[in-house]
Amino acid sequence: MSYLALSDEELVRLLGDDVPCGDLTTQTSGIGQLAARLEFRARQDMVVCAIEEAGRLFFLCGATIKVHSRSGQAVNKDDLLLDARGDAQALHRVWKTAQVLVEWASGISTATAAIAKAASPIAVACTRKNVPGTKAMSVKAVRAGGATMHRLGLSESLLLFAEHRLFLDESPANTVARFKRAEPEKKLVVEVANIDEAIIWAAAGADVLQLERFTPEMLAHCRSDLSSAGLHPALAAAGGVCADNAFAYVNAGADLLVTSAPYNAIPKDVQVDFHTC
């Protein structure tokens, strides 16, 4: 996954946030024009993400770069991820912004990969509960970890919550029929809180039931009751799904796991080493 999730303008804004008026320490030390080299290495096993953006940051500041890894690649402790050559001023300017970006994004991608591995062969989808302002990089990190997006936002998918249904004065069957007439290319996902709601909305024709906060045992009972009624919607387990319980949900009969857990992952550590030239 080598595409850039952030444009040059967005990358420059990240640098501007950290270095709005120059690097005072490097300028004062008088080392800015000296030739330098730095390396990014993994301090621990991880699934890399945002290494392309890191390389681009160095390039935009005049450095020569070589990227030795790619987003989505599993690397081992001490593996070389990137090296850059340029003057000390440029490398010091970019250093921390690039490092933190790779560490944060790699935390998400590594956590995502752990859930995806535990859930295999069932797909894992991450929600839109990313930190505001980080959507593009969060999506890249999720995909680098082997998952897909549950929803990118409110504009492209149909997910009917109880909070929507509170305002509807019609039968579930009429609601489903109306949605499918209006958006025939879209699957209708309905979030349900218990097995009774699941049966009602499955009978009404919902394509996918999002089972909110169901335990694996509840999901298994739901699958059994729906099958007994001749109903076979896709079941998406949501709420509290993580690497530790992913297999239990798959074993219970889930068709999809929906999670926000990777967004809370601890960033991975990247070692940065400077060298004189």
**pLDDT tens for residues 182-198?**
999 999 999 999 999 99
pLDDT value, residue 251: 97
Question: pLDDT (tens digit, 9 = 90+) per residue, 41-79?
Answer: 999 999 999 999 999 999 999 999 999 999 999 999 999
Question: pLDDT (tens digit, 9 = 90+) per residue, 153-192?
Answer: 999 999 999 999 999 999 999 999 999 999 999 999 999 9
pLDDT higher than threshold 80 for residue 1:
no
Domains and CATH numbers, the chain: 8-110+266-276 (3.90.1170.20), 116-264 (3.20.20.70)
pLDDT higher than threshold 90 for residue 2:
no
Question: pLDDT (tens digit, 9 = 90+) per residue, 110-135?
Answer: 999 999 999 999 999 999 999 999 99
Amino acid at 173: A
Tokens of 258: 């929906």
In angstroms, the CA 171 to CA 264 distance is 39
pLDDT value, residue 83: 98
In angstroms, the CA 94 to CA 273 distance is 13
pLDDT value, residue 142: 98
Count Cβ atoms below 10 Å from residue 58 Cβ, excluding itself.
25
Three-class SS of the chain: CCCCCCCHHHHHHHHHHHCECECHHHHHHCCCCCEEEEEEEECCCEECCCHHHHHHHHHHCCCEEEECCCCCCEECCCCEEEEEEEEHHHHHHHHHHHHHHHHHHHHHHHHHHHHHHHHCCCEEEECCCCCCCCHHHHHHHHHHCCCEECCCCCCCCEEECHHHHCCCCCCHHHHHHHHHHHCCCCCEEEEECCHHHHHHHHHHCCCEEEEECCCHHHHHHHHHHHHHCCCCCEEEEECCCCCCCHHHHHHHCCCEEEECHHHHCCCCCEEEEEEEC
Average pLDDT, rounded, for the chain: 97
pLDDT value, residue 100: 98
pLDDT value, residue 173: 98
